[in-house]
Amino acid sequence: MKRSTDLPRVQRHSRLSAECITLLSFAILFILSLVSLNFGSFKIDFSSQEKKEISLKIFQTLRLPRILAAILAGGVLGVTGAVCQTVFCNPLASPDITGVASGASFGAAAAILCGFAGLLRTAAAFIGGVAALMLLLFFVRLSQRSGNEHRTRYILAGILISSAADAGLMILKTAADPERELAAIEFWTMGSFASITDKRFLIMAAVAIPALVLLFLFNKQTLILSRGSVEARSVGLSPALWQAILLLLAALAVAAVVSTVGVIGFVGLIVPHMALALVKKRGKAFLFLCFIIGAGITVLSDLLARTLVPKAELPVSIFCVGFAVIWFACIFTRGKVREGD
């Protein structure tokens, strides 16, 4: 009797802890965003009417869209990483498993070689990412006759498409001008928020936010798929159909991000591990926490990228990879200590 009466208290305490962790993480993200808004090549100054007008225009068209883009990009990568790891039951799965990032990189590199810039380059990268997604679904469809398990089909097809796109990217790099085009390709593939404007952010948000909302709404189906095909069918879900739907939404959101800000590495891989270490359970709180942690990493990385070196801007992925190395190093060190004990 005592155990049964204590169970609701434990559940309420766990739920309260998850909510507190989420709120605390959101508060940290909010503070990081406010700090980041105050840094840039142009100092925001409202001391006079002329400076006020210039500062307000820069704030509305450049500074605020950049912070919002960093929040959305990190949130998308964090949530899609969680969806991929849950659907495939693989802690090493990430949004890159669909080949969308590699396809978008190939599209952007082709646009750079053609002399395109701005929205045309973004459009070319998005088309490359969507083309990779269509190829993924096509190869999965072809492999259905082989009798492979659904998750294996997607992983193998994603590896195939990523490898082909990376090979094509190497060919384009070989043909690029080392002084101009090759440098632009390399910088783009390491991710940056330097070219974000209000228009580019709105285009990215128009695709990424609806896909992200649907992923949150379909969280129940995602969790059911993680329990295996047999249980999914027992509750009336088609594993193949729902895997395709969830990966389609994740890939579209990632394509919108990658085509706008370039490739941001390791965020989709490490964020679900961080969130799971805090809340211990996959659910809506877990997904919200993935969004907040992913956004926090990209906002902090962007802040460091444009403040560490005076009059220069570093690629965002340098710091994202650095955070990933620190995180996994802590995990391995903690594991070794436990084994020694």
pLDDT digits (tens, 9 = 90+) for 84-126: 888 888 787 788 777 888 888 899 889 888 888 778 888 888 8
48 or 159, which is more confident: 159
Residue 147: inside a domain, yes or no? yes
String of DSSP letters for 292-316:
HHHHHHHHHHHHHHTTSSTT----H
Q: What percent of the chain has pLDDT over 70?
A: 88
Residue 69: inside a domain, yes or no? yes
Residue 7: inside a domain, yes or no? no
Indicate if the pLDDT at residue 48 is higher than 80. no
280 or 2, which is more confident: 280
pLDDT of residue 47: 67
Tally of CB atoms within 10 A around 199: 13
Task: Please tell me the distance from the alpha carbon of residue 55 to that of residue 41, in angstroms, as a whole number.
Answer: 12
Residue 22: inside a domain, yes or no? no
pLDDT of residue 339: 41
Mean model confidence pLDDT for the chain: 83
pLDDT of residue 201: 93
Check which CATH number belongs to the domain holding 297 and give it: 1.10.3470.10
- Find the mean pLDDT for residues 150-164: 81
Residue 225: inside a domain, yes or no? yes
Q: How far is CA 5 from CA 8, 11, 14, 15, 16, in A?
A: 7, 11, 15, 17, 18
pLDDT of residue 336: 46
> What token pair was written down for 146?
């082989």
Residue 83: inside a domain, yes or no? yes
Indicate if the pLDDT at residue 6 is higher than 50. no
CB of 209 within 8 A of CB of 72?
yes
Query: What is the extent of the structural domain holding 217?
Result: 29-38+48-334
Nearest to 85 by CA among 167, 5, 154, 145: 154
pLDDT tens across 294-324, in order? 999 999 999 999 888 877 888 898 999 998 8
Residue 303: inside a domain, yes or no? yes
Residue 123: inside a domain, yes or no? yes
pLDDT of residue 29: 95
In the three-class reduction of DSSP (H, G, I as helix; E, B as strand; rest coil), residue 191 is classed as coil
- Find the mean pLDDT for residues 281-298: 90
Q: How many domains does the chain contain in total?
A: 1
pTM of the complete model = 0.85
Number of helices (H), then strands (E), belonging to the chain: the values are 14, 0
Indicate if the pLDDT at residue 167 is higher than 90. yes
The answer to which of 166-170, 258-262, 265-269, 308-312 has the lowest mean pLDDT is 308-312
pLDDT of residue 171: 92
CB of 211 within 8 A of CB of 247?
no
Task: Please tell me the distance from the alpha carbon of residue 130 to that of residue 124, in angstroms, as a whole number.
Answer: 10
